[in-house]
Amino acid sequence: MFSYIDFKNFRNIEDGVINTNSSSIIFMGENGQGKTNILESVYMLCYGTSFRTKKNKIIVKNGFSYMSISGDYKNNNSISIPVSIILKDGKKSIFFNNKKTESMESLFDNFPCIVFANDDINFVNGEPVFQRKFIDQMIVLYDPLFIYKLREYKKLLESRNKLIKENNIKLLDIYDKKLSVLGSFISSKREWFINYVKNDFSNIMSDLTGKEVKIKFLSSYKSFSVDDIFEYYINNRKKDFSIGYTSVGSHRDRVFFEYEDKNFVSYASTGQIRTIALVLRILQARFLFYVSKKKPILLMDDVLLELDPCRRKKLLSLLPEFSQIFFTFLPDEPAMNYLNIKNSIVYSVKGGRVFIA
C-alpha cells in the first residue's frame, strides 16, 4: 500500500503530502472539489497513466509546465518502493525505486490496481467498443503480450480499410491472412475469459439482485480456426467493398447480458445496470489477485451512491483481499455505517485542499 502521496502542481490539488498510511482511505466532499483527482494520482503511480485522459497537459495545474506526484509503496514484505511520475513541458518521466524507467511494465508487475468509476456503466449499456476494452484490460493482466497483438491487429485493420476505400484488391490476401491469425488469437482469448468468469458472474448477480443474469461473448467469427476466418474474410469482400470498411473481425466482438433468454440491459433499471458494472469490476479485481498473487489497490469513486445500504454491504463483502482501498463520497453519505472497515483515515476535500475530517 502507499504510505503517502506527495503532490506538486497536480490538477487542482494543493501542493503537499497526504498521509495514506492505512488500509482504508476515505475522501469526503462535494462534486468538483478534487476527490477523483486524488484517486487518479494513485492510479498514475500504479500504472504510469491516467484512467481519465490521454492528454498529459490537462493533468498539470493551470499556469504551470511542470507536475509531479510521488509515493512510497510498501509491498507484502513491508519493503518500501518509491515511485514518482513527472511531467515537464509535455514529456513524462517515470521513476521506479529511485531509477528512471522507460517501461511501464515494471509498474504493472508491482502495483496491481483496479478502479471502480462511474464511466464503468459503459461496459454494460455503452457501445461494444467499451465492452471489448473491459475484456482486453482483463486479458492484459494475464497475458501482457496481448496488448501488442491488439495494436498490430488495429494497424492491419486500418490498412485493409484503406485498401477497400481505394478499391484495391491486390494486397487483400496478405492482410487477410495476417488478420486471420491475429483475429483467431484475440477473439478466442476473449471468449476464454468470458467462459472463465461467467459462472461467478451469474452467481453474484443472483445473490445481489435475485436474478440469474448471464454474460455471453458474441464474435462475428463463426469459428476461431485461422483457415475458416481467412475464408470468412474472402466471402465478405463483396460486402466490405459495398459499405467501404471491414465488416467482420475481432473489432466487432461484443458482450451480451441475458436474463430469461432476453436482453436484460434493454429493460433493466439504472441500479441493476450499475450493479452489473460493479460486478464486472469485482471479477476483474478477483482475477487480478488470482493472476498476480498480489493484493490489489482498489479505487472506488462514488460508485456506491445508487445502491441501497444492504446491497452495498453485500457487494463490498465480495471484494477480494486488498492491500489498500480508497473511497470517495459526498459529504452527506453515511459511509462509516456500512463500510465496516476499522482504522480508516477520513479526509474532507474542498477546492483541492485536503484535511482531516
pLDDT at 10 over 80: yes
The pLDDT assigned to 316 comes to 85
158 and 251, same domain (yes or no): yes
What number is the average pLDDT over the span 75-89? 87
DSSP 234-255: HHTHHHHHHHTS--SSGGG-EE
The H or E element spanning position 356 is: strand 353-356
Sheet holding 297-301: strands in order across? 113-116, 297-301, 324-329, 24-28, 345-350, 353-356
Q: Domain with 10 in it: what CATH number?
A: 3.40.50.300
235 and 141, same domain (yes or no): yes
pLDDT, one tens digit per residue, over 220-268 is: 899 999 999 999 999 999 999 999 999 999 999 999 999 999 999 999 9
DSSP 156-191: HHHHHHHHHHTT--TTHHHHHHHHHHHHHHHHHHHH
- Rounded CA separation 299/116 (Å): 6
DSSP state of 119: G
Confirm whether 288 is domain-assigned: no
333 and 235, same domain (yes or no): no
Confirm whether 177 is domain-assigned: yes
What is the domain extent for residue 328? Answer: 2-112+294-356
Given pLDDT bands bounded at 50, 70 and 90, which one contains residue 338?
low
pLDDT at 357 over 90: no
What number is the average pLDDT over the span 175-188? 97
243 and 331, same domain (yes or no): no
139 and 238, same domain (yes or no): yes
Confirm whether 102 is domain-assigned: yes
The pLDDT assigned to 291 comes to 79
Confirm whether 24 is domain-assigned: yes
The pLDDT assigned to 193 comes to 92
Confirm whether 272 is domain-assigned: no
141 and 200, same domain (yes or no): yes
Owner of C-alpha cell 514529456: 91
Given pLDDT bands bounded at 50, 70 and 90, which one contains residue 340?
low
The pLDDT assigned to 57 comes to 86
pLDDT at 213 over 90: yes
Confirm whether 227 is domain-assigned: yes
Q: Domain with 166 in it: what CATH number?
A: 1.20.1050.90
Identify the domain boundary among 229, 246, 266: 266
Residues 6+ apart with CB under 8 A from 132: 190, 251, 253, 254
Of the chain, the percentage scoring pLDDT greater than 70 comes to: 96
DSSP state of 284: H
pLDDT at 158 over 80: yes
Q: Which residue positions form the known binding site for ATP? A: 29-36
| Pair type for strands 214-218 and 113-116 | unpaired
Confirm whether 132 is domain-assigned: yes
Single-letter code of the amino acid located at 245: Y
- Rounded CA separation 151/157 (Å): 10
What number is the average pLDDT over the span 80-97? 91
238 and 134, same domain (yes or no): yes
104 and 129, same domain (yes or no): no
Confirm whether 118 is domain-assigned: no
244 and 144, same domain (yes or no): yes
260 and 147, same domain (yes or no): yes
pLDDT at 120 over 70: yes
Identify the domain boundary among 217, 248, 266: 266
Q: Which residue positions form the known binding site? A: 29-36
pLDDT at 138 over 70: yes
107 and 137, same domain (yes or no): no
Owner of C-alpha cell 461494444: 128
What number is the average pLDDT over the span 19-26? 93
Tally the domains of the chain: 2
The pLDDT assigned to 271 comes to 84
pLDDT at 60 over 70: yes
What number is the average pLDDT over the span 326-348? 78
Assigned C-alpha cell, 27 = 475522501
163 and 231, same domain (yes or no): yes
